[in-house]
Structure 1
Amino acid sequence: FFVINFESVPIFHYWTQFLILILLTSKFARRALASIKETHCTHSNIFRDLFRLKRQTVESSAMPNKVPPDEDTWTLQAIGTPFPTNPVKAPGQQNMYVALWYKHGQPLMGRAWNDSGVVQCAFAYDSRELKGTDIGGNIQVLTYEGDHMSKGFFYEWIKYSDYIADADNESRVPLRCGTSAAVVWPDKGTLGTLDLEKRTATMAFNQEFYKFAEEDLKDMLILVRNAKDGPAQCRCFECLRRRELEKATPAPLLMVNEWTDYRAGDAFPPAKRLIKALNRPLNTKQGPQDQYVALWYHFGNAVMGRAWSSQGKIAATFASKKKVFSGNVGSLQLLVQIPPSAAGFDYSWEPYRRAAMIGEKEWHPVHIAFVAPCVLIVDDEGHECLGEANLKEEYAQTVVDNKVFRLEGGAISEFKVLCRKDRDDTQAI
């Protein structure tokens, strides 16, 4: 930087004059000079003031979340109707979403899930678990469309103990209906109702009813609305700019696979963000085709299949219980490629024999229950097709010519299964 004394330096070099002329035309320079005049400074580091004021201006505009923030959006659903778009998912769960049901005027939080594209749910009430035909009328599923910039907030799951320690924080308040809030029990993977006034919780799991006092809640997760910040790994322009300006410690890397909810027939998302089979077009009977990893649920069971772009829309097909499901399959999930700067692991397509190996190994299959994405060779000509491998029952299957194609045992040992390994430079979240 240059320190310029206007009283003692009567003549400037040409390039210095030119640079100062440019700077004086900017609004930041005018603010700096106004500051100098107000404080009667005769010796000032103009460049320092310019950069300081420039930084303050940018920082003051960072994170302009919408004020006031939007209200929560609850989508009215009957049991068995098509699953809504953009549902809010429970942390660490692939197929569990926040649901609300009123029983005799009492708001109850429970879990909803996608079963073959339609809504199913369960709630804890009257010392038992209610589901299916036990639930009369409609329920509501929590949805969120947009981002923290357009909505003015984002949903965040935090430990109950952290919420209590910061209970006066008006920028981070529980999602609530009356005195009821959503709470997740990570050990059991279930969701229930937290009574904010009584500081007790009720949940149900596998037909068992549970009630918790406050001392049992500290490690459970409560859903809050954060109206101040952005999500830890948000990649919007404002969050990236804020992190750069603050020179903050990088956010911890994500260690979970990112499955994003869609519906068959939706506009196909940007292909560069999805996990593509073998990272290239597959050699199919119909010619080269890009196929992407897809997840669907049939009677509560995870099914891996394939999705592709059909005239710009999502098309998908799955094989389950020796039947083919394609066309209007309803809700499904696509596996998203997390940017290297945010991911704490790498993906690779490895032979089944290596992925299914028991014991220490470098690459671990990307699986839900016992099924993992798998590329099958479906004929002697070497044609390829994306489907699933069952690591427990040792078979692989896919859909070929609208029929289930299945092989077992040693015949699948060289089929490629999607795997991942943790990077050494990770700080897990």
Structure 2
Amino acid sequence: MAKPPAKEDTWAFQPIGAPFPDNPIRVPGQQNMYVALWYKYGKPIHGRAWNNNGGVECSFPYKKAELTTKTELEGHIQILTYKGNYKTLGYWYEWLPLKTRFEDGNDRDLVKCGQSTPILMTCADKEKRLGYLDLSTEIAMVSYNKKVEQIAGGATQTCLGIFRNYKPPPMVMVEEDQWDDTRWGAEFPKNVEPV
């Protein structure tokens, strides 16, 4: 029996300052950093969004400037969400080094819009931030503190990219802690194995 085709990525349209959407895709190792998308003159640009007291805030690199305000970004952005699971959507998200995009196989695709793909880059201050890689130029950009930082070529291959994986996700062993109160000298329960 053939597997049905995977569904499309889901992007929540959010005004800046509006309530944060449900089920956003969080960046690995970060408590409050999410994949965001914005269009400038029809060109897609990925950046980062965060939840500030329930409201959407964001940062996008554009040329040599960090854009963060409602006026600069013309009011709306999109935030990547994942509502469902592998069985209902046919894919799951996985963060891997960008160099894996050149590996053979049809089991995963890079998440991208046009020539922009979100990447997690280590900046000069050693902090990891979400930005984007322009696939046509292989230049990666990230913005923070009113500036833009960029790397190009081979240096981008160690950045993490987000992939849609079409294989079932790995099984995670779930262990259950079982506790029992006993008295000193009482018989040990026979239905458990001590660790």
Q: Corresponding residue for 1:177?
A: 113
Correspondence 1:398-417 to 2 at 5 A: none
Gaps of at least 5 residues in structure 2 are 177-195
Q: Corresponding residue for 1:40?
A: none
The structural deviation recorded for 1:340 is 4.2
Give the letter aligned to residue 189 of structure 1. Answer: K
Distance in 2 (CA, whole Å) between partners of 1:210 and 1:70 is: 34
Classify the secondary structure of the residue corresponding to 1:114.
strand
Q: Does 1:103 align with 2:43?
A: no
The structural deviation recorded for 1:132 is 2.0
Greater C-alpha Rg: 1
TM normalised by structure 1 equals 0.38
Distance in 2 (CA, whole Å) between partners of 1:340 and 1:190 is: 33
Correspondence 1:34-45 to 2 at 5 A: none
Correspondence 1:13-412 to 2 at 5 A: 67-133=4-70, 134-164=72-102, 166=103, 168-186=104-122, 187-230=126-169, 232=170, 234=172, 339-340=174-175
Distance in 1 (CA, whole Å) between partners of 2:140 and 2:172 is: 31
Gaps of at least 5 residues in structure 1 are 1-60, 236-338, 342-429
Greater helix fraction, Structure 1 or Structure 2: 1
Give the letter aligned to residue 218 of structure 1. Answer: Q
Deviations 1:169-222 (A, max 9, x none): 222111111111110114422111112232221111222211211211122100
Distance in 1 (CA, whole Å) between partners of 2:89 and 2:64 is: 37
Distance in 2 (CA, whole Å) between partners of 1:340 and 1:149 is: 23
Distance in 1 (CA, whole Å) between partners of 2:85 and 2:165 is: 12
TM normalised by structure 2 equals 0.81
Q: Percent identity?
A: 40
Classify the secondary structure of the residue corresponding to 2:22.
coil
Classify the secondary structure of the residue corresponding to 1:176.
coil
Distance 1:68 1:115, change over 3 A: same
Deviations 1:11-30 (A, max 9, x none): xxxxxxxxxxxxxxxxxxxx
Q: Corresponding residue for 1:348?
A: none
Classify the secondary structure of the residue corresponding to 1:224.
strand
Give the letter aligned to residue 106 of structure 2. Answer: E
Classify the secondary structure of the residue corresponding to 2:157.
coil
Distance in 1 (CA, whole Å) between partners of 2:25 and 2:48 is: 11
RMSD: 1.9
Q: Relative contact order (alpha carbons < 8 A, sep ≥ 6): 1 or 2 greater?
A: 2
The structural deviation recorded for 1:79 is 0.5
